[in-house]
Amino acid sequence: VSNTAAIYFDFNAPIITNTVVNTLKMPVSTQEAAAASIPLTLMPNPNRGQGQLRYQLERREQVRIRLFDVRGRLVEVLQDFTEQGPGLHQLPLDIRAKAAGVYFLHLETANGQRGIVRCLYMD
């Protein structure tokens, strides 16, 4: 999509801006959506820096859980491919040492399953 604007001041001739070209990408497959197959629950959310992350595994998996800031930068690795059995799992979350704000918890298994939950940490 290309776009140019004309800016008018009073009765003067318009000032024409540079042409900007934006490229929009549409997903061509559902593979990425299918990869987010492990639902995560964070309680409470919003929180004051402490909570419980809950998720369920269908079979024995190696699980990595990472905390990212709102800009997508890795803040902390909470678990690094720890082997866990099937069933409901709870991970205590304590980020009180971090700045208040929005964070994202990413869960990833060794075989490519994923889950993401947003965490709102309020002071």
Q: Do the Cβ atoms of 81 and 118 come closer than 8 Å?
A: no
What rounded mean pLDDT belongs to the chain?
88
Helix (H) or strand (E) holding 113: none
Q: What is the pLDDT averaged over residues 49-54? A: 94
Q: Do the Cβ atoms of 88 and 52 come closer than 8 Å?
A: no
With a cut of 80, say whether residue 30 has pLDDT above it: no
